[in-house]
Structure 1
Amino acid sequence: MMKFLIMLIFVIPLCFMKNMFWMVQMILFFLVFLFMNLSLNVNMYSNMSYMYSCDLMSFGLILLSIWICVLMITASENLFKLKFYDSFFLFNIIILLLMLYLTFSVMNLFMFYLFFEGSLIPTLMLIIGWGYQPERIQAGMYLLFYTLFASLPLLMGIFYIFNEVNCIMIYFLKFFNMNFYLLYISMILAFLVKMPMYITHLWLPKAHVEAPVSGSMILAGIMLKLGGYGLLRIMIFLQEINMKLNYVWIIISLLGGFYISLKCFCQVDIKSLIAYSSVAHMSFVICGIMIMNYWGFLGSYLLMIGHGLCSSGMFCLANINYERINSRSLLINKSMINFMPSMSLWWFLLLSSNMAAPPSLNLMGEIMLINSLISWCSLSMLMLMLVSFFSAGYSLYLYSYPQPGKYYYGMYSFYMGTSREYLLLMLPWLPLNILVMKIDYSMIWF
């Protein structure tokens, strides 16, 4: 694992050299294919070096992190053209990728906390430095304080565990059973805010709307998955108490998912709508993890990977429209099918994956989550039907509202999609629909 870490560190000087923007992107592409060829032990951690290692769950999420960072650079061509602090932007992305790589690969719980919080700083820099509106400062503060407020109890919880059992290596904690209410709340609160669970979700739409396209992609693609990854890791030693309290989180998530799905129909900002749909999907993931059965864990992991690819693709599309029209309003983005028919096809492909249509990973994840939830309590079927139905509803709303109709005459500049943009849309969509053929790999971890 250290070899990839050192490779990333050596990319940092390239960020500050002239005309190295696309070179850094190519190196990250190369890193993806190197990482894909990593030999993994099926049952436990492998590739151990120092305190870093990799099992199948962290493997998938690290791969997703590198992939989305490649897409972020591809999507931010405008920064390179305008020379808008592009070197510092690349440096920011590499530091963010380093933090994410370390978060997913570290085995020590305290170091995990350190890198989990460290990834917040480059994200904040992206929103405040390259965001669009003046409200981005407020959005950044929301993001910072929501996350930090919930994270201090997590740190206290880690110290308490170390004091009690003299061990904070994630692998060995599975031999312990911590049956304490206060510890349980303090350990999972930070992850529920990061997911974000309904009630603690207010920072997410703000951050998404104010962030540049790269910020939105990393927020939707990886930042929300940090919470799910943390929950999957710590549930191992909080099993007993979770069985007593899990119904609270499941009820909040199901009702919240339903309410947020309805709220999606009220949005007029494309980015805001996609951000709220992320909250609805993550409520499914929380339910799957809290149920603590095989299908739930598996479904939540698959939905995290699928949603990471799908939502980052949709934010790319929203940005492509924004670059043409200079507005993200659904009322002004009209008749896009006349201007960019091929982009309408990409909207359709990504939104169909978002509503869990075959053959996407989202479909597999949702089938598993629905199975696990109904096996836990058959009454939850009612809420599941509503959430699934409305998720298809707002996806169709987002597709059918901007595509047909009369176009806006105030639109002053316009051009068709470039090859870079088509590549940018294909790279999330292909793995999202092709990984279904190798679904067994994601099952082996469990």
Structure 2
Amino acid sequence: MMVLIFSMIFLLPVIMNNNFFVFKVFLIFLFSYYLMMGSTSFMFFLSYLMGVDVISWGFIILSIWIVLLMIMSSYNYKYSNKSKEFIFMNFFLLLFLFFSFSSTSMFMFYFFFECSLVPTLFLIFGWGYQPERLAAGFYLIFYTLFASLPLLLSIFYLLGLTGSSFYWLINFSCNFYLFICFILAFLIKMPLVMFHFWLPKAHVEAPVSGSMILAGVLLKLGGYGLMRVSLFLYDYMCMYSVYLISLSLFGGVICGFICCLQLDMKVLVAYSSVCHMAMSIMGIFTLSLWGMWGSYILMLSHGLCSSGLFCLVNILYDRSGSRSLLVNKGFLILMPSLCLFWFILCSNNMGSPLSLNLFGELMLIVGLLSWSVCTMFYLMFFSFLACLYSMYLFSFVNHGSLSNFNLTIKFCTFREYGLIFYHLLPLNVFFLKFNIFMTLF
């Protein structure tokens, strides 16, 4: 573990030298090292402070891959006045995410969980598109900090009571208020419906790199935290799961209808993230193996799929200057190759075969139906609405008459095609390694 930590820290001179290429090469080597390491052992680098198991391993390689794609998507920043600051923020965001997912202490996880908020805020404030980015940043920080203080106080109470914050050694008598303090920060981070209003605002105002890391990894911190606290809050999660699953079922269907009414492409993709995270929350609160692993696989697949959709939206925004579906129409005529990528990503977003989304959603549906057959009616609406808004987005962008504003549009570059392809490659190939998760049963 120290080898990986110091190899990342000693990369600082390269970052200060503003070398995008060396940083990307390092991330590729780090990704390859972790990918090979995960196939050798179920749990490694385990200690009282840090350790990696299958859940941490998946989220860490997802973080490395998304940060690599963030650098690729922000190629224009290489020639700007703030290029050094941009790569500096990406590096520290990756470092904090690495520490968050590899911490085995509840307090250390909380510390790095909050630290990851700072580079995200700087990305929104420094490289956001609109003047409203300040309001979006304040939404993000105040929604998160509202529930973070109760979480910190409950961790201090836990340390005073048991003397340890190591996940697998915590055993104490909980009550309802402690239960709410432990889970509320993670529910807001995912986010749970009714606490999701910061998410569309932050996505709309963030640059493409900010939207990619926000949808790709930062939302998953909430799900990862819920999985960890379920180890010692099992009884209370069983007791109150009916309320949270019911709220997620109802709220996910409502957000699906909201997606079908959107004209802003970025807001539509952001609300689709709320729908998918509602399914992940339901899977975690079933507290079954099928629900837990289905939620985990859906979070990994959603990180790649949603990040790719934000990249596609940004490609059109760079050319037309608008995110409105009324302006961005008929791109099948101009960019048929990009239309193929739109179709594959929109299909994956609704759970098409041979993508990780399909396996995650199937496992989640089995877990939820085993929890209660009454969820069947809402799950039918979930699947139907996911298909509806995904095809709505694809058909509006690629079909129809070409807008007069887009007649002098420039074509896609090889870098942009490669960026979308590198989202699709793990999303549609990693199902071949699905036995990693199935052997855990």
Q: Give the TM-score category using the shorter length.
A: over 0.9
Distance in structure 1 (CA, Å) of the matches to 2:414 and 2:39: 36
C-alpha displacement of 1:23: 1.9
The one-letter code sitting in structure 1 at the alignment partner of 2:216 is: G
Q: Distance in 2 between matches of 1:24 and 1:221?
A: 20
From 126, 129, 146, the equivalent of 1:149 is: 146
Q: Which residue of 2 aligns with 1:58?
A: 56
Q: Summarize deviations over 1:336-379 as a string: whole Å, max 9, x none.
A: 11111100100000010000010111100100111111111111
Shift of 1:412: 6.5
- What corresponds to 1:7 in structure 2? 7
- For residues 293 and 434 of structure 1, the distance between their equivalents in structure 2, rounded to whole angstroms, comes to 26
In the alignment, structure 1 segments of 5+ residues that lack a partner are: none
Partner Cα separation in structure 1 for residue 438 and residue 228 of structure 2: 16
Q: Is the 8 A contact 2:191 2:274 kept in 1?
A: yes
Q: Report the CA distance shift for 1:159/1:359 in structure 2 as closer, same or farther (over 3 A).
A: same
Displacement, 1:430? 1.0
Aligned position for 1:203 = 198
Asked whether 1:162 is paired with 2:159, we answer yes
C-alpha displacement of 1:443: 3.6
Q: 1:370 aligns with which of 365, 369, 388?
A: 365
- Secondary structure of the 2:10 match is helix
The answer for the alignment partner of 1:359 in structure 2 is 354
SS of residue matched to 1:57: helix
| Residue equivalent to 1:287 | 282
5 Å-filtered alignment, 1:66-145, equals 66-81=64-79, 83-145=80-142
Q: With structure 2 as the length reference, what TM-score do the two structures score?
A: 0.97
The 10-residue stretch of structure 1 (46-55 or 300-309) with the greater mean CA deviation from structure 2? 46-55
Distance 1:407 1:263 in 2: 26
The code of the aligned residue for 1:415 comes to K
* Alpha-carbon contact 1:57-1:442 (below 8 Å) kept: no
SS in 2 for 1:53: coil
Q: Distance in 2 between matches of 1:76 and 1:39?
A: 29
Q: Which residue of 2 aligns with 1:334?
A: 329
Instruction: Please tell me the residue identity of whatever aligns with 1:299.
Output: G
Residue 254 (structure 1) aligned with residue 249 (structure 2): yes
Q: Residues of 2 paired with 1:347 and 1:10: CA distance? A: 39
Normalised by the length of structure 1, the TM-score is: 0.96
Q: Which runs of 4+ in 1 moved over 4 A?
A: 39-43
How far residue 84 of structure 1 moved from its aligned partner, in angstroms, is 3.9
Range with bigger deviation, 60-69 or 424-433: 424-433
Match of residue 28 from structure 1: 27
After superposing the two structures, state which structure 1 stretch, 33-42 or 259-268, moved more. Answer: 33-42
In structure 1, C-alpha distance between the alignment counterparts of 2:122 and 2:211, rounded to whole Å: 13
Task: Report if aligned partners of 2:47, 2:104 keep a CA contact under 8 Å in 1.
Answer: no
The alignment partner of 2:231 has SS state of helix
- Residues 413 and 442 of structure 1: CA distance in aligned 2, closer, same or farther (over 3 Å): farther
Asked whether the 8 Å contact 1:324–1:413 carries over to 2, the reply is no
Alignment identity in percent? 47
RMSD: 1.4
What's the CA shift for 1:179?
3.3
- Structure 1 residues 377-398: Cα deviation after superposition (integer angstroms, max 9, x where no partner): 1111000000110011000000
Cα deviation code 1:272-310 (max 9, x no counterpart): 100000000000000000010110001000000000010
Cα 1:369–1:29 change in 2 (3 A) is same
- Give the Cα separation in 2 of the matches to 1:179 and 1:6: 38
The Cα of 1:48 is off from its aligned counterpart by: 3.3
Give ranges in structure 2 of 5+ residues lacking alignment: none
Counterpart of 1:434?
429
CA distance in 1: counterparts of 2:274 and 2:439, whole angstroms: 28
Contact 1:177 1:238 in 2 (8 A): no
Distance, in Å, in 1 between the alignment partners of 2:255 and 2:197 is 11
